[in-house]
Amino acid sequence: MFRISALALCLLAGTALPSFAQAWSYTGGDGETVTLDAVPTRIIAHQDAAAGLIPLGIRPVGIYADSPIEAAKALEGLDLTGIEIVGTAWSEVDIEKVAALDPDLIIGEWWDRNGAWSGGADVEAALAPLAPLTGVAASDSIVGMIEEYEELAASLGADLDDLAIARSKADFEAARAGFQAATAAKPDLKAVAVYAGADAIYFADPAGAAELLDLRSWGLDLISPEGVDAAGNNYFETVSWENADKYPADLILVDNRSASTLQTALAQPTWTLNPGAAAGQVTDWPAFWLRNYAAYAGELEKLTAAINAADPDLAP
């Protein structure tokens, strides 16, 4: 019996073969799986997700940020040409702008300690009717998060063999090796990470900050505060400025999401009660915003320089 193939039928009819879109699915940090009929191309991303994806070749059509773009540390040095900014404050997003971009997917980050997505519950509720929301989880390692972004980017069509990606990773690995050598040379150096507020000094719990856990795993002796706040602010212990020396350290890492944080610390008369502050052994803490190898390498180099220059015998 004579059979005509599907290809032959299409050629005889003068029509092209039908194209079948490849389905796409991803299980986000909240444990929920998003499934779409095709790989999404029109993506709206939170600033941190954008910082993880853009260096891997995935460019969102829109970004919602927690602050004005020029103040968003995660986005420093990234080319945002052609990307619509649809939010510039925590818990706020311009829904009309988002809708006009006709997104296939929203990508944020899941924060298990808060049980919420980037931007907070109000942003999640506003975006949910427009496109599915997913993304990686804020985990116990920035390196682990970057690897999760690589997997997500690959599913979205990124070429992870790109030379620029390989160079960034090599630079990071060199910077990490330098950091590990510096901490190994000063095993008695005690460090603490802080946020300085006008009302109080906030001592960071390393268990709540992936980059601090990385630094600790690479040899930095980071102090864990005893009384992390149980309600609302469960990443820090709040301490009055009169007790700024509650956790004496040789090296103090100050949250660098805003330059004004260090300025606030320096303006406090009791800042220098802490021996590290008195000696000027103060450096940047890249708090919560690192999402790619290039940025991480730069911050590690600064930290390494501070460790190399520090006297490890100040704190009791």
CB 86 within 8 Å of CB 119: no
Q: Is the predicted pLDDT of residue 20 greater than 60, yes or no?
A: no
* Backbone torsions φ then ψ of 86, nearest 5 degrees: -110, 5
Looking at the fold, whether 60 and 179 belong to one and the same domain comes out as no
Q: Is the predicted pLDDT of residue 231 greater than 60, yes or no?
A: no
CATH number at residue 292: 3.40.50.1980
Looking at the fold, whether 144 and 168 belong to one and the same domain comes out as no
CA 268-209-201 angle, 5° bins: 15
Residue at 13 is within a domain? no
Looking at the fold, whether 181 and 269 belong to one and the same domain comes out as yes
Looking at the fold, whether 154 and 51 belong to one and the same domain comes out as yes
Residue 249's CB: how many other CB atoms inside 10 A?
A: 26
Looking at the fold, whether 198 and 301 belong to one and the same domain comes out as yes
pLDDT band at 46 (very low <50, low <70, confident <90, very high): very high
Q: What is the pLDDT of residues 160-196, one digit of tens each?
A: 999 999 999 999 999 999 999 999 999 999 999 999 9
pLDDT band at 112 (very low <50, low <70, confident <90, very high): confident
pLDDT band at 233 (very low <50, low <70, confident <90, very high): low
Q: What is the pLDDT of residues 143-164, one digit of tens each?
A: 999 999 999 999 999 999 999 9
Average pLDDT estimate for 248-276: 97
The full length of the chain comes to 316
Looking at the fold, whether 110 and 231 belong to one and the same domain comes out as no
Looking at the fold, whether 85 and 152 belong to one and the same domain comes out as yes
The total number of structural domains that make up the chain: 2
Looking at the fold, whether 29 and 134 belong to one and the same domain comes out as yes
Residue 264's CB: how many other CB atoms inside 10 A?
A: 18
Looking at the fold, whether 245 and 284 belong to one and the same domain comes out as yes
Average pLDDT estimate for 287-292: 98
Average pLDDT estimate for 135-149: 96
Look over the chain and give the mean of its residue pLDDT values, rounded to a whole number: 93
Domain coverage including residue 205: 164-309
Residue at 252 is within a domain? yes
pTM for this one?
0.91
Burial 22-42 (b: 16+ CB within 10 A, else e): eebebebbbeeebebeeebee
Looking at the fold, whether 150 and 251 belong to one and the same domain comes out as no
